[in-house]
Amino acid sequence: MNLFDAPVDRRGTYAVQYEERRAKFGTDDLLPLWVADMDLPSPECVTDALTRRARHPIYGYTVYPKRFYKAIATWMKRRHGWSVGRESILPVPGVVPALNLLVTALSRPDDGVLIQPPVYHPFFRLGKNHGRRLLQNPLRYEGGRYRIDFDDFRAKAREAKLFILCSPHNPVGRAWEREELETMGRICLEESCLIVSDEVHADIVYAPSRHIPIASLSPRISQITVTLNAPSKTFNIAGLNTAYAIVENDTIRRRFDAELRRYDLTMGNLFGIEALIAAYEGGETWLEELLPYLRGNIGYVAEFLRTRIPSITATPVEATYLMWLDCRKLGLGESELERFFIQKAKLGLNGGASFGREGSGFMRLNVGCPRQKLEMAMERLQAAIETL
């Protein structure tokens, strides 16, 4: 049996994916495949490190040690070919909180904030939360693949103070190519638009695609970019608050650091620190076993849909463990589609419209789970489709 095939019972662990089913879907009677964490065990190096630390009976205030910063810099160099200095790294309370803090630190009310829908839904709140103008550069869905409308991107970047990049992209699964990233970076330089790049899915990329940190493209682009990352998606430790920012521009870093200190958000989580160090120092072999397993899950779902549910199409996945399912051939309205998955298929997925109106008719499926769970989900879906 594969390391990841054995089901893990998450009951009693306060897991959002399971505990929040009734609040989100109105019922507990469904198979949850929505929240972007995995039903797969974290690497032993992480659980061992946490167990060792838990045996010490005092859990007091904690600093970020030098080893924390070194682990991040070493990982970035080894996995992504990016040399990052210790002084450029700032621990943050989470990627989404950091997005909000960067908006307040680097822009003013009525400034434009640019996003690329369909995109991770917290991006949409950035404008409303802070009185900024939300500008949208919708991705084009052409030939089964999402692409950037660069003419529209330039027009919107001209109006924007900040561009929030999702790289790799959630939910459409793109790992942006170098040419695409270089074009976005060049336009942002020319239009004086800062880049905030959410790269939390950076390590979940399938060959021949690869993740390229946009800040690594050139010194000039690095000077207008804040990169947000964490080992949370990679090693399934999202509950441990392990996020960090990489900011190579001294002025921007000071402004962001001042905003973190303004809200007293600089204290470390001792278990998160231990988990990050253990994962980045000892988790690479585990990750190399995880990636083909996830890719196998993606292939299983895509083939099942192709042969047994051709009315639903899986968008090709280059990165993440999230699949973007095109359900428009079912001919259901957005609310009808969501009710169909909940009430007929007994599956809890993310409705596409939550990622922007461009997501209408799509559903997001989390395949970061044992294959057995996916098999059950697909059988349920096929049975429900046959009732239409």
The residues spanned by each domain of the chain are 16-43+285-385, 58-282
Spell out the SS3 assignment of 267-336: CECHHHHHHHHHHHHHCHHHHHHHHHHHHHHHHHHHHHHHHHCCCCEECCCCECCEEEEECHHHCCCHHH
pLDDT tens for 134-153 read 999 999 999 889 999 999 99
User: What integer pLDDT is reported at residue 2 of this predicted model?
Assistant: 86
* Helix (H) or strand (E) run with residue 113 in it: strand 112-115
58-282 matches 16-43+285-385 in CATH topology: no
Q: State yes or no: pLDDT of 257 exceeds 80.
A: yes
User: What integer pLDDT is reported at residue 277 of this predicted model?
Assistant: 98
pLDDT bracket for residue 103 (50, 70, 90): very high
User: What integer pLDDT is reported at residue 147 of this predicted model?
Assistant: 98
- Compute CA distances 112 → 158, 188, 209, whole Å: 9, 13, 31
pLDDT tens for 360-372 read 999 999 999 999 9
> Once rounded to an integer, what is the mean pLDDT over residues 299-304?
98
User: What integer pLDDT is reported at residue 332 of this predicted model?
Assistant: 97
Q: State yes or no: pLDDT of 31 exceeds 90.
A: yes
Share of the chain above pLDDT 70, in %: 100
- Compute CA distances 55 → 59, 70, 242, whole Å: 10, 25, 21
Q: How far apart are CA 213 and CA 247, in angstroms?
A: 12
User: What integer pLDDT is reported at residue 299 of this predicted model?
Assistant: 98
User: What integer pLDDT is reported at residue 43 of this predicted model?
Assistant: 98
Spell out the SS3 assignment of 182-211: HHHHHHHHHCCCEEEEECCCCCCECCCCCC
Q: Strand 347-348 relative to strand 31-32: parallel, antiparallel, unpaired?
A: parallel
Q: State yes or no: pLDDT of 330 exceeds 90.
A: yes
For 365, phi then psi, to 5°, come to: -115, 130
Q: State yes or no: pLDDT of 356 exceeds 80.
A: yes
For 253, phi then psi, to 5°, come to: -65, -40
User: What integer pLDDT is reported at residue 270 of this predicted model?
Assistant: 97
**Average pLDDT of every residue of the chain:** 97
Q: State yes or no: pLDDT of 1 exceeds 90.
A: no
Q: CB–CB of 368/37 below 8 Å? A: yes
| Helices marked H in 133-176 | 150-159
In CATH, 58-282 is 3.40.640.10: yes
Q: State yes or no: pLDDT of 217 exceeds 90.
A: yes
Tell me 34's DSSP state: -
226, amino acid identity:
V
* Fold topology of 16-43+285-385: Aspartate Aminotransferase, domain 1 (3.90.1150)
Q: State yes or no: pLDDT of 307 exceeds 80.
A: yes
